[in-house]
């Protein structure tokens, strides 16, 4: 999470009056950054990962688990090496940086410093991730563990929190989770409440239930308190928000409380960042499918394997007019997506870009676009920013309304950091030496650090291959969207096909192209074809490695990471989601009714923790790479 400023947060009724102010100054701040940093050149590759963890409390005697809401006590200990370093109390740079996240049971860890461009850096990734897990564990009570599951299987079921609270909070008004589950920093309860206020109803999340042999059909969830009468929005479930045959969720925590694995790359210059943004965009859904690790929600097996749509719906602040369900009266735009969604347009002016790839009707603020164009921002970048700025700022701190637009980027970041898309284009902070960066945001966190390192290193190497071979992954952006939906499906990696480009090299000879009716052809392919076919990601990465000077030992380590991804794609190894689903279905206490009980949850979370610590090695998930 970016912005964590302090102050008095405004209720939506007041905040909306300042939306124009934030938009206007946000654009001025962007222009200041752009003008001072656009010519920045020769930045070196720096990159880093972000891993989020759940804090889970185990009771091994009773064989039960609870989500621990103690993240803030733990974070205080975890951040001490960093604060000591910053305050000059020690010369030792911290090994890891720790940040709070949306859930009061979540912590986020990143390496102490970004990694550089060498292969030695790549070898440090897994070790640093393991160290982080150890540091996290050391800062916790002995019965607490840092678990890198995407979501806690029984989040939103009764009595799953420590300490225990009733779901009676006015910020989220959820039937299932209390406000105490939210990060107490004013930003987060305000964000939660203002999303509901702006939307005019609670958020509405429905994920299809996995129908097992004994699951009732239709499935009408008996655990929903249908008749509760505590808050204005309590009737929504009964009035149609909760769909039959679905797992219904009604709060931001169900989405923003999920853990993911993100990567940020610094490019050498703005143009390279824009190129990487475009080339990685079609990769995001593929990696969501390969990293899928979340088949359980609110105590039920779902018929999806991945979290993205849950988060998307969990922060969807669009009122009915913006959703296109009512004619526009008070809203300015009909907007096709949530703020948390896939990107809507490409960004690069590279020669390989063609206008036909942008086949989604882009909604953008015309006035902002014009302002940007008048200030010499090119069309694509102007549209990108004007598209982000169709959203309203949700959290405004009264004391921070008036800032120096040359020194601050708060208003720009207010919108930038609440447009949670599959890719993020990150301009440098004002007056800093940091370069233009892109963030790869679609992947699900993995249970073990071997897997987290494998996915991270794989994407780093893919970016190197993209840049060094000038690869071209462009397909129409609507097809990237279609892939994102496909990626959610149960066992998508094995059973589904994804749109991908047939020819990824630009410098194909004339005769090659003459033979083809369309050099930009794309088609539906299996994940195995995209990753392992010719020229799939895996062979491309190996050719890149072959073109470099790399010692045998390093090459072996990197090959094990690449192999994990390759074998997930071919189906030789399972995805985390498939593994977890099977774990539930094979559990002796499972009644084939889709219910993931506390007993099953204890064993499952325990297993995830054992896998992370290397105490248990499921070959079907991890292969024989790391023992
Ligand atoms: P976010 O805004 O996405 O939450 P964070 O600050 O949490 O971003 O994490 C960003 C990641 O980027 C971290 O892994 C960090 O190591 C890495 N990083 C930091 N500085 C740079 C840089 N100049 N270039 C690339 N990556 C960086
Ligand atoms: Mg972060
Ligand atoms: Mg991030």
Instruction: Categorize the per-residue pLDDT at 535 as very low, low, confident or very high, splitting at 50, 70 and 90.
Output: confident
50 CB less than 6 Å from ligand 1? yes
User: What is d(CA 247, CA 303) in angstroms, rounded to the nearest whole number?
Assistant: 10
* pTM listed for this prediction: 0.97
Residues 104, 163 contacting (CB under 8 angstroms): no
Query: What spacing in Å lies between the alpha carbon of 437 and ligand 2's midpoint?
Result: 14
195 CA from centroid of ligand 1 (Å): 27
With a cut of 70, say whether residue 515 has pLDDT above it: no
264 lines ligand 1 (CB under 6 A): yes
d(CA 50, ligand 2 centre) in Å:
6
Give dist(CA 536, CA 562) in Å, integer.
12
Neighbours of 491 (CB within 10 A): 17
CB-based contacts of 121: which residues, under 8 Å, 6+ apart? 115
Query: Six-digit token pair at 307?
Result: 């979290």
Substitution candidate for ligand 1 out of 1, 45, 46, 264 with most atoms within 8 A of CB: 264
Q: Whose CA is nearest to atom 11 of ligand 1?
A: 48
Distance CA 616, CA 272 (A): 42
Shortest-distance ligand to the CA of residue 428: 1
Say which residues have a Cβ less than 8 Å from residue 118's Cβ, sequence separation at least 6. Answer: none
pLDDT of residue 147: 98
Residue whose entry in the numeric block shows the structure tokens 């009980």: 597
* pLDDT attached to residue 627: 43
pLDDT at 1: 38
Which residues lie below 8 Å from residue 273, measured CB to CB, with a gap of 6+?
266, 267, 425, 435, 436, 437, 438
Cα–Cα distance for residue pair 527/570, rounded to 1 Å: 7
Grade residue 43 by pLDDT with cuts at 50, 70 and 90.
confident
Task: Please tell me if the CB atom of residue 437 comes closer than 6 angstroms to any atom of ligand 1.
Answer: yes
Q: Which residues contact 339 (CB under 8 A, 6 or more apart)?
A: 315, 316, 317, 391, 418, 419, 420
Burial 501-515 (b: 16+ CB within 10 A, else e): bebbeeeeeeeeeee
HEC per residue, 354-401: CHHHCCCCCCCCHHHHHHHHHCCCCHHHHHHHHHHCCCCCCCCEHHHC
Tell me, using a 6 A CB cutoff, whether residue 439 lines ligand 1. Answer: yes
**Residue 194 CA to ligand 2 centre (angstroms):** 22
- What is the rounded CA–CA span in Å between residue 377 and residue 294? 41
- Closest atom of ligand 1 to CA, residue 434: 23
Residue nearest atom 19 in ligand 1 by C-alpha distance: 114
Centre of ligand 2 from the C-alpha of residue 108, in Å: 7
CA atoms of 173 and 191, how far apart (whole Å): 13
Chain segment 434-462, per-residue pLDDT in tens? 999 999 999 999 999 999 999 999 999 99
Mean pLDDT of 127-144: 98
496 within 8 A of 533, measured Cβ to Cβ? no
Q: What is the per-residue DSSP string for 491-521?
A: THHHH-EEEEES---S---HHHHHHSS-TT-
- Residue 132 near ligand 1, beta carbon < 6 Å: no
Given the CA of residue 111, which atom of ligand 1 is nearest to it? 16
Task: Give Dmax (Cα) for the chain.
Answer: 72
- How far is Cα 522 from Cα 480, in angstroms, rounded to an integer? 11
Spatial distance between the Cα atoms of 35 and 33, rounded to a whole number of angstroms: 6
Q: Which pLDDT band, with edges at 50, 70 and 90, does 611 fall under? A: very high
**Residue 438 CA, ligand 2 centroid: distance in Å:** 13
Asked if residue 613 has pLDDT above 60, the reply is: yes
| Nearest C-alpha neighbor of 10 from the set 423, 468, 397 | 397
Q: Which of 13, 18, 11 is nearest to 414 (CA)?
A: 18
Summarize pLDDT for 366-375 with one digit per residue, the tens.
999 999 999 9
Average pLDDT over residues 71-94: 97
Mutate to test the pocket of ligand 1, among 44, 50, 410 (most ligand atoms within 8 A of CB): 50
Nearest atom within ligand 1 for CA of residue 49 = 14
pLDDT at residue number 2: 41
Distances (CA, A) of 221 to 147, 217, 232, 242, 438: 28, 11, 21, 9, 41
The residues pairing with 607 across neighbouring beta strands, listed in sequence order, are none
Q: Is 171 helix (H, G, I), strand (E, B) or coil?
A: coil
Q: Per residue in 548-587, pLDDT tens?
A: 999 999 999 999 999 999 999 999 999 999 999 999 999 9
Index of the ligand 1 atom closest to the CA of residue 265:
25
pLDDT of residue 510: 55
Distance CA 524, CA 433 (A): 43
> How much distance in Å is there from the Cα of 513 to the middle of ligand 3?
40
Which range (4-18, 423-437, 456-470, 483-497) has the least confidence? 4-18
Ligand closest to CA 262 = 3
3-state secondary structure of 585: helix
* Closest residue to atom 2 of ligand 1, CA basis: 2
Q: Is the model's pLDDT at 279 over the cut of 80?
A: yes
Distance from the alpha carbon of residue 52 to the mean position of ligand 3, in angstroms = 10
User: In this structure, how many other beta carbons lie within 10 angstroms of the beta carbon of residue 432?
Assistant: 10
Nearest alpha carbon, ligand 1 atom 20: 114
Nearest atom of ligand 1 to the alpha carbon of 2: 2
Ligand 1 site, residue 266, Cβ cutoff 6 A: yes
Query: Which residues, 6+ apart, have CB-to-CB distance to 474 below 8 Å?
Result: 278, 279, 282, 346, 352, 353, 354, 357, 501, 520
Beta strand pairing call for 161-162 and 64-68: parallel
19: its two tokens = 């939306």
Q: How confident is the model at residue 3 (pLDDT cuts 50, 70, 90)?
A: very low
- Give the list of residues 6+ apart from residue 212 with CB closer than 8 angstroms, or none: 301, 585, 592, 593, 594
Cα–ligand 2 centroid distance for 191 (angstroms): 17
Q: How far is the C-alpha of 16 from the C-alpha of 105, rounded, in Å?
A: 30
Mean pLDDT of 529-551: 96
Distance 164 CA to ligand 1 centre (A): 34
Cα(366) to centroid(ligand 3), Å = 29
Mean pLDDT of the residues in the chain:
96
Residue 512, pLDDT above cutoff 80 = no
Q: Which residue's structure tokens are 């733990």?
A: 74
> For ligand 1, is residue 463 a contact (CB within 6 Å)?
no
Answer whether residue 509 shows pLDDT above 60: no
**Residue 627: burial class (beta carbons within 10 Å; 0-12, 13-18, 19+):** exposed
Is the pLDDT at 361 greater than 90? The verdict is yes
Which comes out higher in pLDDT, residue 31 or 519?
31
Say yes or no: CB of residue 1 within 6 Å of ligand 1: yes
- The answer to whether the CB of 403 is under 6 A from ligand 1 is no
Look at ligand 1, atom 24, and give the residue with the nearest C-alpha.
266
pLDDT at position 474: 98
Q: Is the CB of 429 within 6 Å of ligand 1?
A: no
Give the mean pLDDT of 403-418: 97
| CB 434 near ligand 1, within 6 Å | yes
Does residue 593 register a pLDDT over 70?
yes
């Amino acid at each position: 999470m970016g912005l964590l400023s302090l102050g008095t947060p405004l209720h939506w009724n007041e905040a909306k009056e300042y939306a124009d102010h934030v938009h206007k100054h946000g654009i001025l701040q962007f222009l200041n950054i752009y003008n001072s940093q656009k010519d920045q050149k020769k930045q070196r590759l720096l990159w880093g990962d972000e891993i989020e963890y759940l804090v889970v409390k185990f009771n091994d005697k009773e064989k039960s688990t609870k989500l621990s809401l103690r993240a803030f006590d733990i974070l205080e200990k975890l951040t001490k090496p960093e604060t000591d370093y910053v305050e000059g109390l020690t010369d030792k740079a911290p090994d890891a940086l720790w940040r709070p996240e949306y859930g009061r049971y979540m912590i986020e860890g990143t390496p102490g410093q970004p990694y550089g461009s060498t292969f030695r850096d790549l070898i440090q990734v897994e070790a640093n991730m393991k160290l982080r897990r150890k540091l996290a564990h050391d800062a916790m009570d002995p019965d607490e563990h840092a678990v890198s599951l995407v979501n806690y299987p029984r989040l939103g079921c009764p009595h799953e929190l420590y300490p225990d609270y009733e779901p009676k909070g006015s910020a989220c008004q959820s039937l299932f989770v209390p406000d105490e589950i939210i990060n107490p920093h004013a930003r987060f309860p305000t964000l939660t409440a203002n999303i509901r206020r702006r939307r005019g109803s609670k958020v509405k999340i429905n994920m299809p239930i996995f129908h097992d042999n004994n699951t009732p059909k239709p499935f009408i969830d008996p655990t929903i308190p249908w008749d509760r009468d505590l808050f204005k929005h309590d009737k929504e479930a009964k009035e149609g928000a909760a769909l039959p045959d679905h797992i219904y969720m009604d709060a931001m925590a169900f989405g923003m409380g999920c853990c993911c694995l993100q990567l940020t790359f610094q490019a050498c210059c703005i143009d390279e960042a824009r190129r990487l943004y475009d080339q990685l965009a079609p990769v995001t859904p593929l990696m969501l499918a390969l990293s899928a690790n979340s088949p359980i929600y609110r105590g039920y097996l779902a018929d999806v394997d991945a979290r993205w749509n849950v988060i998307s719906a969990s922060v969807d602040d669009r009122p009915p007019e913006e959703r296109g369900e009512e004619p526009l009266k008070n809203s300015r735009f009909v907007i096709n997506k949530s703020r948390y969604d896939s990107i809507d347009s490409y960004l690069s002016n590279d020669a390989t870009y063609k206008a036909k790839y942008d086949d989604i009707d882009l909604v953008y603020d015309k006035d902002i676009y014009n302002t940007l164009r008048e200030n010499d921002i090119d069309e694509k970048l102007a549209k990108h920013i004007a598209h982000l700025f169709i959203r309203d700022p949700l959290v405004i701190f009264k004391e921070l309304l008036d800032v120096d637009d040359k020194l601050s980027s708060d208003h720009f970041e207010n919108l930038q950091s609440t447009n949670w898309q599959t890719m993020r284009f990150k301009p440098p902070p004002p007056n800093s030496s940091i370069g233009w960066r892109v963030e790869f945001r679609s992947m699900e966190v993995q249970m073990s650090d071997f897997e987290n390192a494998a996915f991270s290193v794989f994407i780093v190497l893919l970016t190197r291959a993209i840049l060094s071979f000038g690869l071209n992954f462009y397909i129409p952006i609507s097809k990237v969207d279609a892939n994102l939906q496909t990626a959610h499906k149960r066992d998508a990696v094995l059973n589904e096909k994804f749109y991908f480009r047939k020819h990824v090299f630009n410098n194909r000879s004339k005769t090659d192209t003459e033979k083809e009716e369309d050099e930009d052809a794309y088609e539906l392919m299996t994940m195995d074809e995209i990753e392992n076919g010719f020229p799939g990601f895996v062979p491309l990465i190996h050719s890149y490695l072959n073109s470099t000077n790399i010692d045998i030992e390093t090459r072996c380590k990197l090959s094990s990471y690449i192999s994990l991804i390759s074998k997930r794609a071919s189906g030789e190894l399972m995805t985390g989601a498939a593994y977890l689903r099977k774990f539930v279905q094979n559990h002796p206490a499972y009644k084939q009714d889709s219910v993931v009980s506390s007993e099953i949850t204890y064993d499952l979370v325990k297993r995830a923790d054992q896998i992370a610590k290397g105490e248990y090695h499921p070959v079907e998930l991890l292969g024989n790479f790391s023992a």
